[in-house]
């Protein structure tokens, strides 16, 4: 029995040398660990929450415009928000929504400036986390072009994420309405086809976002061919992560603690896992065998965002 265990352990140790995929996974895991992947992922996840605050201020401005143009929207919104909260918290929901709607115009200026500042800072944190997996030193000087570069990247990411959210909402929440428009509301095949099509579209959008983040955000530009497969795996993993978080939230929402804190904790956990997925994908690309050795002449690639000081 002892010989069998020893033989099994020996085979496991030799597996990275026998399988290129296992060997690559081991190199990526080592790079992720040595470059403090968990620490950087936690920082990105935390700052994502901070950066979301000014975005909410802009959303409150949009809420104010909606209430201004349609007086019944305030009551509809209060009812919708109250339905999403536990029964014990509904008394505090209506005043908060009404106050946000009344003060939305005073919040939009602060929110817009906050989005620009927090968005560019969040992008820089994510860029440094990804660049660390390529063993690039931390950036010391931030140029004006770097800020504009980060804002442009943030705009592209925002459009892509918004498109993904809209498609997901249209498929899951408005499936019946969409099927009625095309005249196949009662057809099971039409409903299944719509959901499959929506899932494929969301996967393609997620893949495009991963490709952009992994190819353009690191301070060393990465050829698109190196990010296609890792981005595809990341897109599938992201959808599985969304499904897992939704199942967990649904399982704990019936409990008292889960109803109050479950969504918040699940959101933080989701952001942390998403950050880890992005950083590990960068580590996978950095250890694919085509990356030049640190310190070599080919290792130094000019970043377009650094040309102007």
pTM passes above 0.75: no
Residue 297 within any structural domain of the chain: no
Q: Is residue 299 part of a domain?
A: no
Residue 86 has pLDDT above 50, yes or no: no
Place of tokens 């935390």: 46
Q: Read off the pLDDT of residues 24-33 as tens digits, 9 standing for 90 and up.
A: 888 999 999 9
**Do the domain assignments include residue 247?**
yes
Number of neighbours of residue 146 by Cβ within 10 angstroms? 22
Please report whether residue 8 resides in a domain.
no
Note whether 230 and 284 are within 8 A (CB).
Answer: yes
Within a domain: 10: no
Statement: residue 151 has pLDDT above 60: yes
Tell the burial category of 131 from Cβ atoms under 10 Å away from its Cβ (0-12, 13-18, 19+): buried
85 CB-near residues (< 8 Å, 6+ apart): 93
What does each C-alpha distance from 223 to 13, 32, 286 come to in angstroms? 33, 20, 12
Between 130 and 88, residue with greater pLDDT: 130
Q: How confident is the model at residue 134 (pLDDT cuts 50, 70, 90)?
A: very high
pLDDT score, position 105: 56
DSSP for the chain? -HHHHHHHHHHHHHHHHH-HHHHHHHHHHHHHHHTTHHHHHHHHHHHHHHHHHHHHHHHHHHHHHHHHH-TTHHHHHHHHHHHHS-GGGHHHHHHHHHHHHHTHHHHHHHHHHHHHHHHHHHHHHHHHHHHHTTTPPPP----HHHHHHHHHHHHHHHHHHHHHHHHHHHHHTSHHHHHHHTT-TT-HHHHHHHHHHHHHHHHHHHHHHHHHHHHHSSSS---HHHHHHHHHHHHHHHHHHHHHHHHHHHHHTTSHHIIIIIHHHHHHHHHHHHHHHHHHHHHHHHTSS-SPPTTSGGG----GGGS--
User: How many domains does one find in the chain?
Assistant: 1
Is residue 241 a part of any domain in this protein? yes
Residues 178, 183, 186, 189, Cα dihedral to 10°:
-80
Mean pLDDT of 180-195: 67
Evaluate whether residue 224 is within a structural domain. Answer: yes
| Tens of pLDDT, residues 219-257 | 888 888 899 999 999 999 998 988 888 787 777 766 666
Question: Which structural domain range is residue 245 located in?
Answer: 36-135+144-289
C-alpha to C-alpha distance for 96 and 105, rounded to whole angstroms: 15
pLDDT at residue 145, as a whole number:
78
Distance in angstroms (rounded) separating the CA atoms of residues 164 and 200: 11
Task: Say if 300 falls within a structural domain.
Answer: no
Average pLDDT, whole number, for the chain?
A: 73
């Amino acid at each position: 029995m002892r010989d069998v265990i020893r033989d099994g352990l020996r085979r496991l140790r030799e597996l990275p040398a026998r399988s290129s995929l296992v060997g690559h996974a081991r190199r990526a895991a080592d790079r992720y660990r040595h470059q403090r992947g968990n620490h950087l992922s936690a920082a990105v996840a935390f700052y994502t929450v901070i950066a979301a605050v000014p975005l909410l201020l802009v959303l409150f401005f949009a809420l104010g415009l909606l209430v201004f143009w349609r007086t019944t929207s305030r009551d509809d919104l209060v009812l919708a928000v109250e339905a999403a909260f536990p029964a014990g918290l509904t008394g505090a929901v209506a005043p908060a929504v009404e106050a946000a709607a009344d003060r939305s115009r005073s919040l939009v200026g602060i929110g817009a400036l906050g989005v620009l500042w927090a968005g560019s800072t969040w992008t820089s944190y994510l860029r440094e986390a990804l660049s660390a997996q390529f063993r690039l030193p931390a950036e010391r000087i931030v140029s004006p072009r770097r800020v504009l570069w980060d804002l442009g990247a943030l705009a592209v990411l925002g459009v892509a994420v918004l498109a993904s959210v809209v498609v997901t909402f249209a498929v899951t929440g408005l499936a019946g309405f969409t099927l009625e428009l095309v005249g196949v509301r009662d057809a099971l095949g039409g409903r299944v086809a719509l959901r499959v099509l929506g899932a494929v579209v969301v996967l393609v959008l997620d893949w495009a976002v991963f490709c952009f983040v992994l190819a353009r955000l690191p301070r060393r530009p990465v050829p698109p061919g190196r990010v296609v497969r890792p981005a595809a795996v990341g897109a599938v993993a992201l959808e599985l992560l969304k499904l897992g978080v939704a199942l967990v939230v649904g399982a704990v929402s019936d409990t008292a603690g889960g109803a109050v804190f479950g969504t918040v904790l699940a959101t933080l956990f989701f952001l942390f896992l998403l950050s880890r997925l992005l950083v590990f994908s960068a580590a996978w690309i950095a250890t694919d065998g085509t990356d030049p050795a640190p310190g070599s002449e080919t290792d130094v690639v000019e970043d377009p965002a650094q040309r102007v000081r």
